[in-house]
């Protein structure tokens, strides 16, 4: 759907429907596209489907306001991918699972529109008990750290990324300052991390230590059913 210079949406250019299902019957009986986002070049649109354990990639034709299906990247069955975040180098991406508390590290080839998994890393400590449901990944502006909100544990996981962007190490996690963190966002300076805590009805923010990536709680604001944080 094009957006005019006045900000008004234009005529719908088309609809793409997903098909398939996953092995977790109560959550994956049908497609569940949970996030749609462009790649850094603007040439491709990626759709993260929790219900089919896949990321679908479409070519974007801005002149025709149309999407053309290009390819599909399957993930490990039962992962339940929820959201994806790109590395600042534009050549790597990280897919966070909701049904499995892992992040899948991927290479991204913007010339070919190809997303290739290269590894997985847990976003909770070893031995974590009880159901957890990760929600949102965020990558630091310098590409050295990745954060992930984890519902059920009410935490923000801190992962260190190596220089290649293809290996991640779980460092620690910290309390999110609320209940059921549904979204994370980094402010434009890269110094503060914000969590939208849906069930406690607040947004909490943290000052990030640039050397360790560890967020330190700095404040909160009441926001009923907080679900998303976006900077304009």
Where is average pLDDT lowest: 12-26, 79-93, 160-174, 179-193? 12-26
| Predicted local confidence at residue 102, as pLDDT | 98
Mean predicted confidence (pLDDT) in 150-164:
98
Q: Is 0.85 surpassed by the pTM of this model?
A: yes
- Determine the average pLDDT of the residues in 205-218: 98
Q: What average pLDDT is seen over the chain?
A: 96
Residue listed under structure tokens 């300076």? 189
**Residue 47: pLDDT above 90?**
yes
Q: In order of start, what are the domains of the chain with their CATH numbers?
A: 33-176 (2.130.10.10)
pLDDT higher than threshold 90 for residue 219: yes
Q: How many CB atoms lie within 10 A of CB 150?
A: 22
């Amino acid at each position: 759907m094009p957006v005019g210079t006045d900000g008004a949406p234009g005529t719908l250019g088309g609809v793409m429907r997903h098909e398939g299902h996953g092995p977790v019957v109560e959550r994956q009986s049908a497609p569940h596209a949970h996030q749609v986002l462009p790649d850094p070049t603007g040439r491709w649109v990626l759709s993260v489907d929790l219900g089919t354990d896949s990321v679908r990639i479409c070519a974007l034709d801005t002149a025709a306001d149309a999407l053309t299906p290009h390819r599909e990247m399957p993930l490990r069955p039962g992962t339940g991918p929820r959201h994806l975040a790109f590395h600042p180098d534009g050549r790597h991406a990280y897919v966070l699972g909701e049904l499995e508390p892992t992040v899948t590290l991927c290479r991204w080839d913007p010339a070919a529109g190809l997303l290739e998994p290269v590894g997985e890393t847990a976003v909770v400590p070893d031995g974590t008990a009880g159901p957890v449901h990760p929600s949102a990944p965020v990558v630091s502006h310098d590409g050295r750290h990745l954060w992930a909100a984890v519902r059920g544990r009410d935490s923000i996981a801190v992962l260190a990324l190596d220089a290649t962007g293809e290996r991640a190490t779980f460092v620690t996690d910290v309390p999110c300052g609320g209940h059921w963190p549904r979204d994370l966002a980094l402010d434009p300076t890269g110094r503060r991390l914000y969590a939208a805590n849906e069930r406690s009805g607040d947004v909490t923010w943290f000052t990030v230590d640039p050397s360790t990536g560890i967020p330190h709680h700095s404040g909160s604001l009441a926001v009923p059913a907080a679900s998303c944080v976006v900077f304009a």
